[in-house]
Structures are given as structure tokens and as C-alpha cells.
Amino acid sequence: MQELDTLDLAIEESRTALALEPNLLEGHWARGYVLEITSNYEEAVSELDQAIAINPHIARLHMALGRNLINTGELDRSVFEFTKAYSLNPTDPTPNLFISRVYSMLGEWDKGIQYGSLALRDDPQDPNLYANLGTLYYRKGQYNQALTFLEVAVRGGTSEDGQVVEGIPLSYAVGVIELYSRYGLALARINRCSDAVNVANALLQNVADNPDGVYNAGEIIKICEQNLLTPPTATPEPTPTVVTGPTATPEP
């Protein structure tokens, strides 16, 4: 109840700020944020457009606009805004991470992998960036390559330049359950079933109240049982589906 009261207060304060000063950048930014968290994405886009018109040189504003444009289905514009955000803050991996997710939504795995790799280059100690890249390879059907990154995301390891990466502990967070499920399924599909069954057991023991985690654990075990009956043969890589997607790139 307190959270709802706080949100209502934020909504009212954002309205008041704009009523007092319609050309205040912070007012449009705050109003855009409130509209975003209340899922009013089209209105949020309008407010953030106005904020950027006042000052186009703030990376976080372009990131906020890009996020909302994804939710309004304007994927070309979202890529443009994320690219602009990166040009303003080229040490932040987040814009390229979001671009990779846009291409993932479109099924353009190679472009997604390209931008996911750029994000990882900028922060090679972030396990979430390994999870993202591993997921893209997994969805492309390249399970061995996927495991290169999923294993680091789950178990930890070292980056190519020797930096330590801490693994993501298993928890009830939806994204974490999806990560462990994907990791276990990839292991099963290349017949590393000893490791795969360990992942399945971890899901059953640690997130037993999550139906998706339990279901995926069952699928991991089922694949491994099938592998015992029918030895796996080499599977050709799937032919990627060509999907026309965002191409807009702003000038730095």
C-alpha cells in the first residue's frame, strides 16, 4: 500500500512540476519515468522526446527513450536512440546490450551476437553479458558456442584478458531460472548429461515452487534419457531466418 501511495505522489509531483515550468528538462524526464513504470509507453515517449529536444546530449535520456520505443514497437527508432546513447557514453555496455536484445526479438541472431559481443567487450566481468551472449547462440541453435558463455554466467570464470567473473547464483528470479534452464538444456543437447542432470537437480531442489524451472528440469532429464537410447549424431547448424530489422545509425 505504501508503494502505491509513493507512486501516486510521484505522478502528482511530476504533473505539478510541468504545470509550473513546461520547459523544464527534469520535469519531462521525471514525468517520462513515471509514465514508463506505469506502462504508459506512448506518453512516456512524448515526454522524453521533449526532454531530448531541450538537451540532446544526455545518454540516459536516450536510453530511456529507447526502452519505451521497444514497448511501442518502434524498433528502428529504439536502435537509433541506443546507438546515440552509446556515442555519448562509449564505456557503457548497456546500449549495445539493448541493441542485441532488439535484434534477438527480430530473430536476427548474428546481429544480436555482434552487439552482444560489443557489450561484453566493454564490461568483461559482468556475468549478465555472458548470459545474454550465450542465450543468443542458444537460440541460434549453436549449443557448444552457447555453453562457452552460459557456463561462465552460471559458474563464473575468467574473461579473455584474465579478469575474474563471478557466477550468478540460482534464485527465484525469473531471468536466473531461465539462465539455468537454458544452460542445462544446452548441456543435454550436446550429451554432457552428467553436468546437465546436476543442473536439473539444482532446479528441482532450489526452485521447486517455480513451475517453469521444474518443467525445464524434467525436459533436461528427458533429453538425457533419450540420449541413452539413441546416441546423438552430428546435427547441422540451422539456417538462420532472414528478418528485416533496424538499421538506423545516428551520427556521433
Say what the pLDDT of residue 251 is: 33
Torsion of CA 190, 212, 116, 119, to 10 degrees: -130
| Interatomic CA distance for residues 7 and 224, integer angstroms | 48
pLDDT of residue 6: 55
> What is the distance between the alpha carbons of residues 250 and 9, in angstroms, rounded to a whole number?
37
Predicted local distance difference test score (pLDDT) of residue 165: 97
- Please indicate, yes or no, if residue 211 is contained in any of the structural domains: no
- Is 169 part of a structural domain of the chain? no
Task: With a cut of 50, list the residues of the chain below it in pLDDT.
Answer: 2, 4, 19-20, 234-252
Residue 102, C-alpha cell as written in the block: 532488439
Q: What DSSP element (H or E) covers 252?
A: none
**27 within domain boundaries:** yes
Pair 101, 71: CB distance under 8 Å: no
Q: What is the pLDDT of residue 224?
A: 97
Q: Distance of alpha carbon 180 from its chain centroid, rounded?
A: 15
Q: What residues form DSSP beta bridges with 157? A: 165
Q: Residue 80: inside a domain, yes or no?
A: yes
Q: Are 206 and 216 in contact (CB under 8 A)?
A: no
What total of structural domains would you count in the chain?
1
- pLDDT for position 236: 45
The pLDDT of residue 13: 52
Q: What is the CATH number of the domain that holds 58?
A: 1.25.40.10
pLDDT value at residue 244: 35
Residue 60 structural domain: 1-90
Task: Identify whether 178 is part of a domain.
Answer: no
